[in-house]
Amino acid sequence: MGKLLVVGSVALDTVKTPFGEGNEVLGGSATYFSTSASFFTSVALIAVVGEDFPQQHIVFLKSRGIDVTGLERRPGATFRWKGEYTHQLNEAKTLDTKLNVFETFRPHIPDAYRSPDVLFLGNIDPELQLDVLRKVERPALVACDTMNFWINGKREALWKVLEQVDVLIINDGEARALGQDSNLVKVAKLVLSRGPKHLIIKRGEYGVLMFNENQVFGAPAFPLEDVRDPTGAGDTFAGGFLGYLAATGNRSPEAMKQAIVFGSVMASFTVESFSLDRLRILDYKEVQTRFREFKRLTHFEDIQ
């Protein structure tokens, strides 16, 4: 089982959807990612929280076997995000962002974390992503996320990061902004020419596309009757995807496809409830069952 390290945000979210709301609930990219990945492999987390961060959330992370040695608690307030979704659940409208202690976050890498097998650089400043890459021994697999704020504001630094990563995981809007083209196939060609071996584009309710030199692979989103809160679905996807790859150590084309489906499975559970409430009660047998349902959903025979 490979060691997986994630560097990202731990936050308190206030979220409203047509199906309810959550006030100051546990959130943040690294939180969703590490919780999801913990179903497959051992995860270490690097992030920062304020002195107001509830201890119960740290207890929860530890209960999932997540190593929180790298979770710094600093004087000040925890990063907070407030957002709202309409019935069009693909994208949240951000109502308020307070970076608080996250604004001056400089990832400190404990010695025990310096040689991970797999590294995930969450959605943070590309300069910080580069700093982390300088501080760790080159892992067997490096993946990263980003967002429009960095794509538009720190494009050159971001390209330097992408030269050093194996997998870029972003949504379709971010992909178009990065590639400066509306056609995702053309975007993929450009991105793959700049460093990453794989580009994974998250498309919300329309599923996921994976591009690499040899193939394009697509997986649908799992059809759900009950979608309550899409917050963190993309990070949960990344956690399932990389958690599975870290657990198996397998990087074959078939393993990558299986990892995509495991990521999609984990995301499908997350959206069924607010915050990480569905993942708190999730059992790995449910993960396996839904993986098989995914297989049935997408399987068809060749033409005779």
Give the pLDDT mean for 32-41: 98
Give the pLDDT mean for 87-91: 78
Burial bucket for residue 147 (CB in 10 Å: 0-12, 13-18, 19+)? middle
Residue 86, pLDDT score:
87
> How far apart, in Å, are the Cα atoms of 60 and each of 2, 175, 280?
22, 33, 8
Domain residue ranges of the chain, discontinuous segments joined by +: 3-298
pLDDT tens digits along 69-86: 999 999 999 999 999 998
SS3 call for 273: coil
Residue 91, pLDDT score:
78
What is the spatial distance between Cα 178 and Cα 172, in angstroms, rounded to a whole number? 10
- pTM metric for this prediction: 0.96
Give the pLDDT mean for 117-141: 96
What is the spatial distance between Cα 141 and Cα 116, in angstroms, rounded to a whole number? 9
The mean pLDDT of the chain is 95
Buried-state track 18-57, b at ≥16 Cβ within 10 A, e below 16: eeeebebbbbbbbbbbbbbbbbbbbbbbbbbbbeebeeeb
SS3 call for 296: helix
pLDDT tens digits along 173-195: 999 999 999 999 999 999 999 99
Residue 2, pLDDT score:
79
3-298, which class in CATH? alpha beta
Best CA proximity match to 114, nearest among 139, 141, 144, 137:
137
Buried-state track 252-263, b at ≥16 Cβ within 10 A, e below 16: eeeebebbbbbb
